[in-house]
Amino acid sequence: MIHISSEDSRDIFTLETKSTGYVFQVTKYGHLEHIYYGSKLTHYDLDGLCRKRKVVIGSSIVYHPDDPLYCLDMFPLEWSGIGRGDYRFSPAEIKMPDGSFVSDFIYKNHKIHEGCVPSDKLPTAYKGESGIKTLEILLEDNCTQVELTLFYTVFEESNVISRRVILTNHNPSPLTIRRLMSMCVDLPNQNFRMITFDGGWIKETHRHDHPLRHGMVVNSSTTGGSSNRHNPGFLLASSDSSENQGDVYGFNLIYSGNHIGCAQLSDRQLVRICLGINPHCFEWTLRQGESFETPEAVMTYSASGFNGMSQNFHNFINHHIIRGEWKGKERPVLINNWEAHFFKFNQRKLLRLARRAKKLGVELFVLDDGWFGKRNNDHAGLGDYTVNRKKLPQGLNHFSKRLKKLGLAFGLWFEPEMVNPDSDLFRNHPEYAVTLPGRESTLGRNQLVLDLCNPKVRDYIVTSVSQILDDADISYVKWDMNRHISEAFSPCLENQGEFFHRYILGLYDILTRIFGPRPHILLESCSSGGNRFDLGLLCYSPQIWASDDTDPVERLNIVSGLSYLYPLSTIGAHVSEVPHQQTLRETPLSTRFNVSCFGCLGYEMDLKYLSPVEKKEIKEQIAFYKQHRKTFQYGTFSRIETGKANKVQWQCLYHDKSKAVTGFFQTQSIASEAPDLLRIIGLDPLRRYDIRTKPQRLFIKRFGGLVKHILPIELNPNGLILRLVNRHYALPDCVEHYRVGGDTLEKGIFLNDQFMGSYYNPQTRLLGDFGSNLYVIESEVQQ
Ligand code: DGJ
């Protein structure tokens, strides 16, 4: 809902979602003064909400001689220029047509649109439901005929407001943009912490809290992608906020390139938040009549802590970002052959893996890297998308038919944005690669980046990938991108300051051209894992491979971090072999599944090495996942505070609250630990619920020498007999059953005790290091 009212001839804009309100007004000199962002207000008094200006504050610049109290530095603003008395971080640094950097954008007019106002070249959120409106406000720098249009789109049901801007030059002289943010807002400080999600390869999206002090906290990427270093999404949380209470604001950007987000605390206790394209190496010239549009930024607020904020974003992404045939659709359980084979496979090997996978209940077979050109290791072949006949003698079409016969869908890996110097593509077209004449190129994973600023390169990619997609029955694509950009330069550009943004526009162009006409294909984006996990890519690919780290203990951190910003329906999560290829850690098969089922489940291992009892376990896991898939992928997700450093708990609640599934994970065992509490939130306190652990197995080898306590005879724990027994037999693990109702669920249920040097019995929780359980909570049938 957008209301516009007038007081003393000032326009006041009130944007309302289901539970939030956002208010700003036009000041007497035409600036946009931010007034309020928070819980929806039913009745309010504007004067009470506005900051007062009754005394002259020393060392400030007076905007107009008629009003010595009007100093821009003191205002909470929706936008600010440079050189007119506001010395905070400006959302725009523009070399204006008059040659100066001074800009002052003043209100001209506004209009309201039904629905969203989509962009021509950039992905934006879409309508998807009624009740969406966009407010367009036109500002002008009166001295230079430069216009700035601000867009605010209100997504009522998701409690999200999006913002973006378009800058237009009407002046006969050109202007140069050095920085143009998608949004700017000044919020009153609440002892905020800024929370960012940072990391690197195999350790993406770890949460970091930065208390705001005077000055600025910056969250930025300069790698050419949104990056695994700093995800574009970030939060501001009041000092007393926790998972379920307190004021939390969330911000994110629908963009896959270099981004910057910052929070700057001023001496007036205002926090300026800006978010947009990173000005790093950015420069864009506008001649008369030309415009530049920024990506769309999104913001949300919740008074119910981090979970409330996350649930707003989850809802928004599932309804306004994910589009096409896969929107809201359950995602298939897949097997990916990467960790099983790397580059060493042939059709026989692949089909054997496929047959085994099918028997366990897998629905989609994904052939990863190595199927094309001379791609037998990561030194060669990227760019040459012709099938390697030594590995697949009858080609991809034949292979897809064999899979179909087995009852499996076929998915294929590509890395279309890259080229190996050792490839036919590079030998024939060295000019397609991003290189800088006169400077030696630096490689990443032995490869160069293709110049997506070049339309010929984009055409090549579209044609070569499309041919493969149309040649075989392919219903899933994994789109990889395995290096950052270096020596950024394109001979197609006059101004190299455009490179990084043009690269991303090029990426969106090829994704649209390849997948627009093929909406049945489920696209999973990937960039060495989660190196480009962002809302821009989610507009094309409904799911993203979260990390090359498949160790579930590491994934607890990675997925927890992602879950603040993105729903589980977007997170690819696989069960892999132990010891894990990234950490050498040994984790139980149960935990590998218990973590991966919170997301889009896959298996990435060589199934031929599984024992019969492990196969049984996996078969049951997949059946369980399918039974609860909707709850895992689309239920209401919450992170539950356990009050213990060695525990993580996640919960998914089915939309009608009739059931929930919760995962309780122990990252490290502690001797004689005090009892654990299991808290379930969001269920109906008037109903009674039945809580049971998902049946899982405890493999005897986990006991090592301790087996002597449970065996009537002495056996060598590493000997043949026990190894054989271990292949065929396992013990029931943590069999628990509770029946509770009312407030007990939220207060917490004390779980059975954990193993403390005691004997085995099925009710004792034998978690040890990295143990876990899934609990299914179902409403009791009413008599
Ligand atoms: C990096 C990806 O993240 C992996 O899953 C795998 O696809 C490899 N690339 C293949 O080269």
Ligand 1 midpoint to CA 528 (Å)? 6
Pair 12, 107: CB distance under 8 Å: no
Pair 447, 186: CB distance under 8 Å: no
Point out the catalytic residue in the list 480, 534, 676, 733: 480
Token reading at 410:
């076929």
Residue 529 β-bridge partners: 547
Separation of CA 125 from chain center: 15
695 within 8 A of 579, measured Cβ to Cβ = no
Q: Which residues lie with the beta carbon below 6 Å from any ligand 1 atom?
A: 338, 368-369, 413, 480, 482, 526, 528-529, 545, 548
- pLDDT score recorded for residue 536: 98
Gyration radius of the chain's alpha carbons: 28
Of ligand 1's atoms, which has the minimum distance to the CA of residue 548?
3
CA distances from 27 to 10, 108, 442 (A): 7, 12, 52
CA of 439 relative to ligand 1 center, distance in Å: 29
- Of all protein residues, whose CA lies closest to atom 1 belonging to ligand 1? 528
Ligand 1: residue of 203, 382, 413 to mutate (most ligand atoms within 8 A of CB) is 413
Testing ligand 1's pocket by substitution, the residue of 228, 334, 368 carrying the most ligand atoms inside 8 A of its CB is 368
Q: What is the pLDDT of residue 782?
A: 60
pTM for the full predicted model: 0.97
Give the Å distance between the CA of 609 and the centre of ligand 1.
22
Q: What is the DSSP letter of 531?
A: T
Distance 203 CA to ligand 1 centre (A): 15
Q: Are 216 and 239 in contact (CB under 8 A)?
A: no
Mutate to test the pocket of ligand 1, among 204, 335, 338, 551 (most ligand atoms within 8 A of CB): 338
CA of 614 to the centre of ligand 1 (A): 26
DSSP 387: B
Q: How far is the CA of 480 from the centre of ligand 1 (A)?
A: 7
Task: Check if 656 is active-site.
Answer: no
Q: What is the rounded CA–CA span in Å between residue 155 and residue 159?
A: 6
Give me ligand 1 centre to Cα 523, in Å.
15
400/604 Cα distance (integer angstroms)? 19
Atom of ligand 1 nearest to the CA of 342: 10
Rounded Cα distance between 751 and 630, Å, is 27
Candidate list 198, 548, 676, 733, residue with the active-site label: 548
In one letter, which amino acid is 111? K
Atom of ligand 1 nearest to the CA of 526: 3
Mutate which of 447, 482, 576 for ligand 1 pocket (most atoms within 8 A of beta carbon): 482
Residue 537 Cα distances to 221, 305, 321, 472, angstroms: 16, 27, 9, 25
| Pairing of β 160-169 and β 297-302 | antiparallel
Cis bond upstream, residue 421 (ω within 30): no
Residue with CA closest to ligand 1 atom 10: 369
Per-residue pLDDT, 705: 84
**pLDDT, mean of each 10-residue run, the chain (783 residues):** 87 96 97 98 88 91 96 97 98 98 98 95 90 95 97 97 98 98 97 98 98 97 98 97 98 98 97 98 98 98 98 98 98 97 98 98 98 97 96 98 98 98 98 98 98 98 98 97 98 98 98 98 98 98 98 98 98 97 96 98 97 97 98 98 97 94 97 95 93 93 81 85 91 92 91 86 91 96 61
Atom of ligand 1 at shortest range from CA of 529:
3
Quote the pLDDT of residue 710.
73
Determine the Cα–Cα distance for residues 593 and 653; give it in Å rounded to an integer: 18
CA of 94 to the centre of ligand 1 (A): 40
Integer Cα distance of 205 and 201 in angstroms: 10
In whole angstroms, how far apart are CA 60 and each of 74, 103, 223?
9, 18, 38
Q: Is 12 left (phi over 0), alpha (psi -120 to 50) or beta?
A: beta
Half-sphere exposure of 648 (CA within 13 A, CB side): 22
- Is residue 422 among the annotated active site residues? no
Q: Give the separation between CA 275 and CA 234, rounded to whole angstroms.
A: 10
Q: Which atom of ligand 1 is the closest one to the Cα of 413?
A: 7
CA dihedral angle for residue 687, residue 688, residue 689, residue 690, rounded to 10 degrees: -150
Task: Assign 228 to helix, strand or coil.
Answer: coil
Where helices occur in 547-588 by DSSP H, the ranges are 552-563
378 Cα nearest atom in ligand 1: 11
709 Cα: distance to centroid of ligand 1 (angstroms): 44
Find residue 366's DSSP bridge partners.
336, 411
Ligand 1 closest atom vs CA 528: 3
**Counting runs of H as helices and runs of E as strands, what totals does the chain give?**
14, 40
CA dist., res. 487 & res. 503, Å (int): 13
